[in-house]
Amino acid sequence: MSESMHPENFIRGFRESSPYIHRFRGKTFVIVFGGEVVADGSIMSIASDIALLRSLGIGVVLVSGADPQIDERLKNAGITFSRTWAGPVVSREAVPDILRAVGEVRFSVEAALSRGVTDSPMSGAEVRVASGNLVISRPLGVIDGVDHHFYGTPRHIRVESVRRFLDDGMVVLLPPLGVSLSGDMFLLSPEDVAQETAIALSATKVLFLVDEPILKELPQGNGREFSDRDVALLLSGRSAMRASWKILLERASKMIGAGVERVHFVDRHRDGALLLELFTQDGCGILVSSDPFEEIRPASPSDVPGILDLIRPLETKGILVDRTREAVETDISRYAVTHRDGKIVACAALYPYPDERKGELACLAVHPEYRKAGRATHLLSWFEKKALSQGLDRLFVLSTQSREWFVERGFMLSGVDELPLERKKSYSPIRKSHILIKKLDPKGSGSV
């Protein structure tokens, strides 16, 4: 039996996905992919994951592209297909072959979603698909002197119809085509369709299945989670990011600004990427969100169980002093936590002694899976600023096994005599904790 299929690993993973299953039920996701997933056959595994999302009560809108199929048909027909920065130039002559190519993708996707072979992931799924004239479009027109003819842009989405289909348990499939009020058909950018649909539906998530090795396309050092503010800073900089990625991030920023909660970019080549991105703590792609994916904030009473989960193993090892639930509940206003997508991954507390302008940093703990990423250092910095805001100019810690970590961050070994009078009384000679003190620099730390 492989390690991944070990019962304990399966149970742990399934339980860890439970909060996301509960959170996503009744929400709407827009999933965008190109015609490449049909061309290489990966639509089969993607369809299985989409069927699972639908079975969990998630409303799914699929937006498909068809570039490879269109290019191949036009090439075989000997039709020139030129492009400008604004999009392709679609002649009337090209329209019939474009419709055939888009239809090929549409029916391939519907066929993949209709599978129900016994003992397959789709067994019993019975996914129903709705499509039709749900996107009203208009011609893009003449841009920089070039008429794009039958290439257009979405004018509006027939939202009520889409919602009725979703409420009826159907997956909605939107091809890269739109109809105009004059009865013409226009080729559309699938990204444009996804953007307008997500905004119109107030979708919870938009997920782009992209073809690039996504982690290599963004400037190094930014990690994989971006707030809308991070994206703005990234786009305003002089990074060597490819133009296609700048366009995608601009789209993400616009959708976030219009009320979409999160936009994800996942590698379509990775099997199960949708499920990994949606139902695991760290995902596997790139996330753009309206609020910080991870933040440090003051603790609240509801955080007590998470704090206890963090500190209990350290108490068992003698690294931290034992604390009862009641003690943590009583002192909860002194705590802060690092909150990562619904999970507490680090915590600490500050006990001030204002008469002596000193404060004790206590109960610093980081979840084992999230160490070595600077979280403890970030928490320390947060509490240094908090201490300064309370008029304190020195921070001290009592540590049995982490002396070097604090020394590396500016703390100096000291003695019991340097402790505030009240803290001296509770100091335990039996534990023989090292006492370390750091003088705080108002200019260097700023304010909370």
Q: Where are the domains of the chain?
A: 3-293, 295-445
Higher pLDDT, 1 or 254: 254
Q: Measure Cα distances from 49 to 55, 92, 165 in Å.
A: 10, 38, 19
Q: Count CB neighbours of 43 within 10 A.
A: 23
Residue 4, pLDDT above cutoff 90: no
- Contact status, residue 163 vs residue 174, Cβ threshold 8 Å: no
User: Distance (Å, rounded) from C-alpha 388 to C-alpha 280?
Assistant: 37
Q: In the prediction, which pLDDT does 3 show?
A: 53
Q: In the prediction, which pLDDT does 119 show?
A: 54
Q: In the prediction, which pLDDT does 441 show?
A: 79
Q: How confident is the model at residue 361 (pLDDT cuts 50, 70, 90)?
A: very high
Q: How confident is the model at residue 114 (pLDDT cuts 50, 70, 90)?
A: confident
Average pLDDT, the chain: 87
Lowest mean pLDDT among 82-86, 271-275, 344-348: 82-86
- Is pTM, for the whole model, over 0.75? no
Q: In the prediction, which pLDDT does 217 show?
A: 60
Q: In the prediction, which pLDDT does 220 show?
A: 47
Which residue from 331, 322, 354 is spatially nearest to 420, judged by alpha carbons?
354
Q: How confident is the model at residue 448 (pLDDT cuts 50, 70, 90)?
A: very low
- Contact status, residue 114 vs residue 158, Cβ threshold 8 Å: no
Residue 117, pLDDT above cutoff 60: no
Q: In the prediction, which pLDDT does 70 show?
A: 95
- Contact status, residue 263 vs residue 226, Cβ threshold 8 Å: no
Most confident range (mean pLDDT) of 114-128, 143-157, 215-229 is: 143-157
Q: What is the 3-state secondary structure (H, E, C) of the chain?
A: CCHHHCHHHHHHHHHHHHHHHHHHCCCEEEEEECCHHHHCCCHHHHHHHHHHHHHCCCEEEEEECCHHHHHHHHHHHCCCCCEECCEECECHHHHHHHHHHHHHHHHHHHHHHCCCCCCCCCCCCCCCEECCCCEEEEECCEECCEECECEEEEEEECHHHHHHHHHCCCEEEECCEEECCCCCEEECCHHHHHHHHHHHHCCCEEEEEECCCHHHCCCCCCCCEEEHHHHHHHHHCCCCCCHHHHHHHHHHHHHHHCCCCEEEEEECCCCCHHHHHHHCCCCCCEEEECCCCEEEEECCHHHHHHHHHHHHHHHHCCCCCCCCHHHHHHCHHHEEEEEECCEEEEEEEEEEEHHHCEEEEEEEEECHHHCCCCHHHHHHHHHHHHHHHCCCCEEEEEECCCHHHHHCCCCEEECHHHCCHHHHHHCCCCCCCEEEEEECCHHHHCCC
Q: Can you tell me the mean pLDDT for 146-165?
A: 94
Q: Measure Cα distances from 274 to 34, 45, 64, 339, 359 in Å.
A: 15, 10, 16, 23, 46
Lowest mean pLDDT among 2-6, 172-176, 265-269, 437-441: 2-6
Distance of CA 396 to the CA centre of its chain: 36
User: Does domain 295-445 bear CATH number 3.40.630.30?
Assistant: yes
Q: How confident is the model at residue 1 (pLDDT cuts 50, 70, 90)?
A: very low
Residue 446, pLDDT above cutoff 50: no
Q: In the prediction, which pLDDT does 372 show?
A: 67
Same fold, 3-293 and 295-445: no
What lies within 8 Å, CB to CB, of 419 at 6+ separation is 396, 427, 435
Look at domain 3-293 and name its CATH class.
alpha beta
Residue 262, pLDDT above cutoff 80: yes
Sort residue 223 into left (φ over 0), alpha (ψ -120 to 50) or beta.
Answer: left
Q: Measure Cα distances from 183 to 50, 81, 87, 196, 434 in Å.
A: 32, 23, 22, 21, 80
- Contact status, residue 205 vs residue 258, Cβ threshold 8 Å: no
Per-residue model confidence as pLDDT tens digits over 205-230: 999 998 765 556 665 444 577 877 77
Which residue from 216, 215, 253, 212 is spatially nearest to 234, judged by alpha carbons?
253
Q: Can you tell me the mean pLDDT for 221-240?
A: 69
User: Distance (Å, rounded) from C-alpha 178 to C-alpha 188?
Assistant: 7
Q: In the prediction, which pLDDT does 394 show?
A: 95
Per-residue model confidence as pLDDT tens digits over 47-100: 999 999 999 999 999 999 999 999 999 999 999 888 888 889 999 999 999 999
